[in-house]
Amino acid sequence: MPIGPAIVRRNAKIILVILVLLILTIRVAPIPGRSQGSIFYDRNGRILTVTTSAGKIPVPIGQMSKYLPEAVVAIEDQRFYVHFGIDPVGLVRALVTNIRAGRIVEGGSTITQQLAKNMFLTPERSIDRKLKEAMLAVYLEMKFGKRAILEKYLNTVYFGHGAYGVEMASRVYFGKGAKDLTLAESAMLAGLIRGPYYYSPYRNIKAAMARRAMVLNRMVAMGYISPIEAAEAAREPIRLAGLEGREYRQAPYFVDYVMQQLADRYLNDGDLLYNGGLQIHTTLDVNIQVAAEEAFHEIIGELAKVSPAKQGSAQGGTLITQPQGALVAIEPQTGEVRALIGGTSFRMTPFNRAINAKRQPGSAFKPFVYAAALDHGFTAASSIACEPIYLPTAQGVYSPRDFGKESYHWRVLSLREALVVSCNVIAVKLNYALGPELGASYARNMGITSVLRPNLSLVLGTSEVSPLEMAVAYCPLANGGYAVKPKFMNSILSSTGGVIRTFATRKWKVLDPRTSYILTDMLKGVLKRGGTAPDVSRIFSHPAAGKTGSSQNFTDAWFVGYTPDLVAAVYIGHDDPATPVARPGGATAALIWARFMQRVYGNASPRDFTEPSGLVRREVCGTSGMSPTPFCPWTRQEVFKAETAPDTPCTWHSPGAVMKGMNKAR
């Protein structure tokens, strides 16, 4: 029988595939076990920490919980038992899902492909590597059976926190062996594979539970479990074994955040952090970090002693010391983060309050609206009365009041004085005159990224923000008007010293430098006698400025302060918002800031803020802020933008006004 051209072409393809596979079998050899941890350095080259793997303990698939392989197949590779190592159907499904979501939410690699990558390939990202991965997957399918492939995969896949394989992951997360895992625990571990950092219950319990529910639903769809079993497992509480403090030595919240950024944005592979031998050069300064930790724990410790009955709250079975807090210190010229504290103990509570806690900053928000005022017709000498006012809003009439025994000052205050004493009434009047959206836009331009509600009370800090945002947003006040992008790393190098990525400083102008200088000059008064944080100047005497903040009922306490070289935001509050700190920011957070700065600067020579051109100083009436007359009871010096300096004689204390007052007195 003659052989047709179609048969020849088909046989040629088969022969070609066989030849390729033969070549692969000759050259293929598993990569020697990589166990070179990544090194994290501070900005001066000092080692912060070295990542270490928790190790591997291979176990036969028969000694694993029966739910674990099923859960992994259900969420990672539903067609595992029918494809030949590469799954075209899965690739198309993942492509469609990702297009619909507008981002990568589902991968197209099979379990066999992932195993091929882990066993044979380097972490490089290229088309060539993907082709090798696909061919190796076919090779593995030919050489091993499905059960053997799944067993090898379960014993080598990365689960986060340095844990490789299901046995070590079971111990790290639940303190038990893989054979003793419940359905709920098996589903949670299976859900970690796609994103060990994001879905870790140690870092994001809500995301971990949502991912567990997704795995359970997939298991139901594939017939592995019943809907009733899935519902029962979804209700099972998460009982974690605890990280036992083995992860980091210095700056744990900072290092943890950098590791998360590396895994999520730049490397997309947590395995590299533990086995890639990377060299990560960060922006942290160990000396500044130590100063921050010492000052932070001094004050937090004192607060915890005030009411020992309220020191802790049960969260996930763990007693967490209260109040908690955060500190972020940034170099304003570059945006480089020099120190970061996200809580009192990373081992006890790894939740990073410096970055992820969103709380009301209180009056620490006022400088954003004052910056808008200085650009729109107001000066530091502008006078406004602090007295009852009733303002119409969509929700009804709004009447602001001040904290303290007196709801109003019952007198006229200059903008400078109003900011120094933190007058709420005048701040709201400013916000009303300018329009709440203007103040919100200034805050956003300067560095606030959280959603802001542009209402009249926004100036009083009623929209929630993070300490990191507040530190970033004060940088334009310290550096002459430039917003900066916060920077945590300078470079990522490979194990051989090759540059993987560098991080440049990003800054852009958002404020008139004269506005920054005048507002800073006003905020210096907050730290002196008559301001809301007078104790700061007794501890730290260098030129500095800042603003206190206390949310309603003293729930949270804030202080954001800065020198020309360093901006730091300090937050103190209970994790349960219903429990107030009961002390203002000036008596708590400001003291942490002052002690921190004193440790940082020590005996260094003071450096003041650089005055830009275009400013003038004028003597003004101490009451009206106008050019003084001989009848003004007192005068003072004020700084102005040249075009806004007052040239009109005081009308409050003119001869006519004096005579009118005398006649009225009679």
Q: Cite the DSSP H helix spans in 375-465.
A: 415-421, 424-434, 436-446
Closest CA to 166 of 22, 68, 21: 68
pLDDT of 351 strictly over 70: yes
Cα–Cα distance, 176 to 164 (Å, whole number): 15
For residue range 542-581, list pLDDT tens digits in order. Answer: 999 999 999 877 889 999 999 999 999 999 999 988 888 8
Q: Do 650 and 626 meet the contact criterion of CB atoms below 8 Å apart?
A: yes
CA angle 84, 87, 93 (to 5 degrees): 165
Cα–Cα distance, 141 to 17 (Å, whole number): 14
Region class of 377: left (phi > 0), else alpha (psi between -120 and 50), else beta:
left
Indicate if 363 belongs to the active site: yes
Closest CA to 178 of 72, 92, 105: 72
Indicate if 76 belongs to the active site: yes
Angle, nearest 10°, between helix axes 205-221 and 183-192? 110
Catalytic residue from among 65, 70, 76, 109: 76
SS3 390: coil
Cα–Cα distance, 452 to 22 (Å, whole number): 62
- What band does 160 get if pLDDT is binned at 50, 70 and 90? confident
**pTM of the prediction?**
0.79
Angle, nearest 10°, between helix axes 146-156 and 111-120? 60
For residue range 37-56, list pLDDT tens digits in order. Answer: 788 999 999 989 888 766 67
> 213-217, 400-404, 496-500 — which one is most confidently predicted on average?
213-217
SS3 604: coil
Closest CA to 365 of 224, 249, 502, 473: 473
pLDDT of 12 strictly over 70: no
Which pLDDT score is estimated for 334? 98
pLDDT of 288 strictly over 70: yes
Closest CA to 570 of 353, 341, 326: 326
- AA letter at 318: T
Sheet with strand 39-41: strands edge to edge = 47-50, 39-41, 279-282, 489-493, 499-502
Q: Using CA atoms in the order 651, 656, 657, 658, what is the torsion angle rounded to 10 degrees?
A: 130
Which pLDDT score is estimated for 602? 92
pLDDT of 242 strictly over 90: no
Q: Do 525 and 414 meet the contact criterion of CB atoms below 8 Å apart?
A: no
pLDDT of 180 strictly over 70: yes
Tell me which of 408 and 543 has the higher pLDDT. Answer: 543
- What band does 666 get if pLDDT is binned at 50, 70 and 90? very low
Angle, nearest 10°, between helix axes 67-76 and 146-156? 90
- What band does 85 get if pLDDT is binned at 50, 70 and 90? confident
pLDDT, the chain, mean: 87
Mean pLDDT confidence for 408-414: 93
| Least confident interval from 336-340, 405-409, 576-580 | 405-409
DSSP, residue by residue, 27-50: H--PPP---B--EEE-TTS-EEEE
Tell me which of 488 and 576 has the higher pLDDT. Answer: 488
pLDDT of 104 strictly over 80: no
Query: In sequence order, which residues have a C-beta less than 8 Å from that of residue 388 and are 6 or more positions away?
Result: 399, 408
Which pLDDT score is estimated for 318? 57
| Least confident interval from 62-76, 87-101, 185-199 | 87-101
Mean pLDDT confidence for 313-321: 57
| DSSP designation for 336 | B
For residue range 196-213, list pLDDT tens digits in order. Answer: 878 999 888 999 999 999
Task: Please state, as a whole number, how many other Cβ atoms lie within 10 Å of the Cβ of residue 657.
Answer: 14
| Least confident interval from 151-155, 158-162, 542-546 | 158-162
Catalytic residue from among 363, 422, 463, 550: 363
Burial class (CB in 10 A: 0-12, 13-18, 19+), 15: exposed
Query: In sequence order, which residues have a C-beta less than 8 Å from that of residue 236 and are 6 or more positions away?
Result: 182, 183, 184
